[in-house]
Amino acid sequence: MTGSKAALAVLISGHGSNLQAIIDSCNKGEIAASIRCVISNEAKAYGLQRAQQANIPTNVLSHTEFSDRKLFDDALANLIDGYNVDLIVLAGFMRILGADFIKRYEHRIINIHPSLLPKYKGLDTHARVLSAGDKIHGASVHFVTADLDGGPVITQESIPVESSDTAETLQQKVHRIEHEILPRTIGWFADNRLRVVDGKVFLDGKLIDYTNHS
Ligand code: GAR
């Protein structure tokens, strides 16, 4: 860590409710972390206002201004490096990052994903859960690797799917658990409790394994 608290860059694209959960956890002293910057690829992301209200520096880096993914990734890395952070948190950041970017911050990027990974990588997870008739759903936090939504899972939490659920109600329920597991995971990172060895995650030396989740 660069200081007594883990320094975070939080990357967003939209509403920023997960960002808010991190801000609140930091402010309440629940986790030994502080947000150095919030970066959005969307100028209209509401999360930028949340950051400004919390006096956190914000930056907009629009992918539309770059002719290819690599140039965007390089500009993003330059921006992040100016803040000297320990951990990059993808909190609803809807851009795919290239392999070079990910390698540069190996084991220092985490992502929140709205499904019980390895099920339902990608988009529209709530609708896909409903069409499959699944009885449980949930959210996962994982380390980011070049395999999209396929990096090792650090933690996940599940919710029951009720017959009355719609994609919208599932989204609300999943959001609620996301707001618990994302700050909790950042707290583990900040307390130096996580290790990645050969692509496997260890918490306090104990292997975390969600690969056989069904
Ligand atoms: C969250 O549900 C997060 O899991 C999802 O975007 C939402 C952002 O909400 N991320 C992904 O789908 C990434 N593949 P928020 O802006 O209110 O935090």
Residue ranges in 82-213 assigned as alpha helix (H): 99-104, 125-132, 167-190
pLDDT in the model for residue 31: 98
The yes-or-no answer on residue 213 being catalytic is no
Q: What is the mean pLDDT of residues 163-168?
A: 98
End-to-end CA distance of the chain: 36
Tokens representing residue 204 in the block: 């306090």
The pTM assigned to this predicted structure is: 0.97
Distance from residue 141's CA to the centre of ligand 1 (Å) = 11
> Which residue has the CA at smallest separation from atom 17 of ligand 1?
17
pLDDT tens digits for 120-153? 999 999 999 999 999 999 999 999 999 999 999 9
| Statement: residue 214 has pLDDT above 90 | no
> Which residue has the CA at smallest separation from atom 9 of ligand 1?
92
pLDDT in the model for residue 1: 77
pLDDT in the model for residue 181: 98
Ligand 1 binding pocket mutation candidate from 39, 89, 175, 185 (most atoms within 8 A of CB): 175
Q: What is the layout of strands, in order, in the sheet containing 33-40?
A: 58-60, 33-40, 6-12, 87-90, 109-113, 136-143, 153-160
Ligand 1 pocket list (CB less than 6 A): 12, 14-18, 47, 91-92, 112-114, 175, 178
- Is residue 24 within 8 Å of 50, Cβ to Cβ? no
DSSP sequence for 33-102:
EEEEEEEES-TT-HHHHHHHHTT--EEE--GGGSSSHHHHHHHHHHHHHTT--SEEEESS--SPPPHHHH
- Is residue 90 within 8 Å of 111, Cβ to Cβ? yes
- How many C-beta atoms surround the C-beta of residue 95 within 10 A? 16
Q: What is the mean pLDDT of the chain?
A: 96
Three-state DSSP class for residue 6: strand
- How many C-beta atoms surround the C-beta of residue 184 within 10 A? 17
Confidence band, pLDDT 50/70/90 cuts, at residue 212: low
pLDDT tens digits for 29-61? 999 999 999 999 999 999 999 999 999 999 999
| Statement: residue 182 has pLDDT above 60 | yes
Given 113, 137, 142, 179, the catalytic residue: 113
d(CA 77, CA 56): 19
Distance from residue 91's CA to the centre of ligand 1 (Å) = 6
pLDDT in the model for residue 3: 77
For the domain with range 6-112+139-153+184-202, which CATH number is right: 1.20.1090.10, 2.40.50.1020, 3.30.470.20, 3.40.50.170? 3.40.50.170
Distance from residue 122's CA to the centre of ligand 1 (Å) = 11
| Statement: residue 213 has pLDDT above 70 | no
Ligand 1 binding pocket mutation candidate from 38, 40, 112 (most atoms within 8 A of CB): 112
